[in-house]
Amino acid sequence: MSISGEPSFRESVDLMFNRASKLMDLSPGLEQKIRVCNSTYTVRFGVRLRGKIETFTGYRSVHSEHMEPVKGGIRYALSVHQDEVEALAALMTYKCALVETPFGGSKGGLCVDPRAWDEHELELITRRFAYELIKRDLIHPAQNVPAPDMGTGEREMAWIADQYARMNTTDINAKACVTGKPPHAGGIQGRVEATGRGVQYALREFFRHKDDMGKAGLTGSLDGKRVIVQGLGNVGYHAAKFLSQEDGVKVIAVIERDGALLNPKGLDIEDVRQWMNSHDGLLAGYPHATHVANGAAVLEEACDILIPAAMEGVIHLGNAERIKAPLIIEAANGPITYGADEILRRKGCVIIPDMYANAGGVTVSYFEWVKNLSHIRFGRMQRRAEEARSRLLVEELERLSSDKGLGWTLADDFKERFLTGSDELALVRSGLDDTMRTAYQAMREVWHSRQDVEDLRVAAYIVSISRVAQTYRSKGL
């Protein structure tokens, strides 16, 4: 139990797991084997910075090796600790199983405030942390493949990949040791936006099912829905941008570290982000909205969809009763505590759970890993062949039209779109969309077909746990 009287993040994940496992036919031994975290490695290392040795503490947890490599991001924050890393590693196991990426679950973290160090210093810190993990095979293309998380991004992943290559000069698959790299360093198009894009695809899928929307008391489409987003970082920014630019939602508030911006007419997300980029990551002073200092209170404002996309534990026993959103999509990992989840369910709020909602990142990481192992860009072999076949069809239709005097004309924009073969970004988005739809349908099937399954979270756990159990059973466990 934490000081607030609520379970810790890891305990919260375990309690949610237990709600589902109670409804399943698992032997007690197997249930425990799936739930517990296999191992957590703690490392303390020194780096000479600004004339003195600074000591840093880092973690890499492996929750489940039922499939290898294991996969999970590396987080940089001062708040990182073992309990949090283990909770996040467990969520990775369930997430990978739910979206059918062939990985076990892992997670890493380093206690560091990335804003306190300059770029060169961060590179030294990252390379040293990576060195410690690489020499224990805790970063390895076949065993453990990290990715970005809070406080890390493409830059850190490129340093890690380079560090691995320096220590494994003959490993032809070295680039596959980490995902989320920049495209010029072995990354894949669409990875940076992937988690936010996945949130958008998840909501689109939810809104395709009228009876699911009905459970949240929502009607119509995404167009015009009022949305509140917490955290305008990688995940929150991309989700808010795509949903507002492509689906017509109105982002009526964004919540950040220094408070919140409110505008009932809808915020221009790109403009807000540019303001943050040029004002030390702060919202205050932004001219086209009202700034309120108490950001957390804005979670309680009326809206149609709440998107917590910052960090864990932000909806808790202290505020759950006052949350008005009928639909919450957990873009962050663990934003709702176990106790808050109970309160919200009682109030009739529908929660699209984290292990599904933010799985876009690991899905596109999987595509990147496959690309690295196959050493070829997606679409390179097929794109022009696809275009040539489409051109054949268009030319034949035009010939028929003129020979027979039918007077058909194909619209220019149709022709352009039809004649453009799929490049890597188009293929990544298609694979992600397919993954998000398929996984939602698997959860939904359990949610609707079983009387004892009240919510999407339990349904998600049931799908994941049964897949992990199946793998263990086929290994003879």
- Residue 107 among the catalytic residues: yes
The CB-of-316 to ligand NAD minimum distance in angstroms stands at 12
C-alpha dist (Å) from residue 320 to 168, 332, 345: 49, 17, 10
Question: Which DSSP category does 185 fall into?
Answer: G
Percent helix, strand and coil across the chain, each to the nearest 5: 50, 15, 35
Handedness of CA 437, 439, 444, 449 (dihedral sign): positive
Nearer Cβ to ligand NAD (261/453):
261
| Residue 225: partners with Cβ closer than 8 Å, 6 or more residues away | 218, 249, 250, 304, 305
CA angle 203, 313, 348 (to 5 degrees): 50
Helix (H, G, I), strand (E, B) or coil at 350: strand
Nearer Cβ to ligand NAD (16/213):
16
Query: Rounded CA gap, 56 and 94, in Å?
Result: 30
Q: One-letter amino acid identity for 98?
A: L
Radius of gyration (Cα) for the chain, nearest Å?
23
Contact 214, 448 (CB under 8 A): no
The CB-of-234 to ligand NAD minimum distance in angstroms stands at 4
The CB-of-296 to ligand NAD minimum distance in angstroms stands at 7
Nearer Cβ to ligand NAD (254/462):
254
Nearer Cβ to ligand NAD (21/151):
151
The CB-of-283 to ligand NAD minimum distance in angstroms stands at 10
Nearer Cβ to ligand NAD (69/361):
361
Q: State the burial class of residue 106 (Cβ atoms within 10 Å of its Cβ: 0-12, 13-18, 19+).
A: buried
Q: Which of 107, 175, 181, 250 is catalytic?
A: 107
The CB-of-452 to ligand NAD minimum distance in angstroms stands at 29
Nearer Cβ to ligand NAD (144/333):
333
Helix (H, G, I), strand (E, B) or coil at 223: coil
Question: Which residue number places its CB atom closest to ligand NAD?
Answer: 233
Q: How long, in residues, is the chain?
A: 477
Nearer Cβ to ligand NAD (218/440):
440
The CB-of-238 to ligand NAD minimum distance in angstroms stands at 8
The CB-of-169 to ligand NAD minimum distance in angstroms stands at 29
Binding site for ligand NAD (CB under 6 A): 148-151, 195, 230-236, 255-257, 281, 295, 309-311, 331-333, 358, 361
Of 290, 209, 248, 238, nearest to 456 by C-alpha is: 209
Of 109, 128, 139, nearest to 54 by C-alpha is: 128
- Residue positions annotated with a catalytic role: 107
